[in-house]
Structures are given as structure tokens and as C-alpha cells.
Amino acid sequence: MGARVRLVAPKTLLPAAVERYGVEVFHDMARGLEGADIVMMLRLQTERMQGSFVPSVREYFHLFGLTHEKLASARPDALIMHPGPMNRGVEIDGTVADDISRSAILDQVELGVAVRMACLEVLTRELRAAA
């Protein structure tokens, strides 16, 4: 849809050859967020914590958690997104998540339901017509 996409993550969490999807890969939040219009956080899946992908939640938050400090390298009006459910203090700081002037997270989660309904509608149209 014309967007330039960057991925920021520790190498241990990234799939191999992910740059072949046409994304730019970063391992440093300040550099990855530089000039970004939208910052979309993803949940650190707790099942991932059982292995040795990342040392600890506190180190992950320290290096990759979205805080106002790290957000400062994005555009001043950059929108904050997250598909939910959020882990506050893991991938996103509570004050960033709740920043009503920047965060589109609640709208995103609400619209996510409508989008899923629309997908189901489209995908099942033919089947329902045949029935």
C-alpha cells in the first residue's frame, strides 16, 4: 500500500532473510524509529520467553520497549499503534500507550473487530451463495 516498513528487533526474534519481504531491518530503537510516521508495537509473546530468545523482560523493555524517550526519534506527530493485547512495561510503557494525543491503540483494536468481520464476510460469500 505504498508504505515503507521497518522492523526493529533483536536478531534472535527475527525470521531468517526477513529483509526479502522488502522491509528494512534495525536492531536499535533510536535508529529504527528515526523519522517514522507510525510506530506499531507488537506483543512479546510470553511463550517466547521459555527459550533463550531474549534474556529477560526488563532487558527487553530497556532495549526495545517503547518509551517517550525512544519515541523522541520518530516524527513529533507520529502515531502509536498496537494490535493488542498489550504487555505494559514489556514492549510498551503505560504512559505511551495511554497518551491520548498520540495513541491510536483503542481505535485500532475496535476497528480490528470490524476488519475481521469484513474478512469473514468476503471469504464466505460464495459458500453462502451456494447454500
Point out which span in 32-40, 59-67, 77-85, 96-104 binds another protein (CB under 8 A). 59-67
Q: Which residue number, 49 or 109, has a Cβ lying nearer to another protein? A: 49
Residue 19 sits in the site that holds another protein (CB under 8 A): no
| Closest C-alpha to 108, from 44, 40, 45, 9 | 40
Of the candidates 1, 91, 113, the residue with the CA atom closest to the CA atom of residue 39 = 91
Question: Cβ 25 to another protein, closest distance in Å?
Answer: 11
Binding-site member from 1, 2, 3, 11 for another protein (CB under 8 A): 11
* Integer Cα distance of 122 and 87 in angstroms: 32
Among 61, 64, 67, smallest CA distance to 80 is for 67
CA atoms of 109 and 81, how far apart (whole Å): 9
55 in contact with another protein (CB under 8 A)? yes
* Interface with another protein: number of residues (CB under 8 A): 15
* Whether 36 contacts 78, CB under 8 Å: yes
Q: Is 52 in the site for another protein (CB under 8 A)?
A: yes
Please report, as ranges, the residues that interact with another protein according to CB under 8 A: 10-12, 27-28, 51-56, 58-59, 62-63
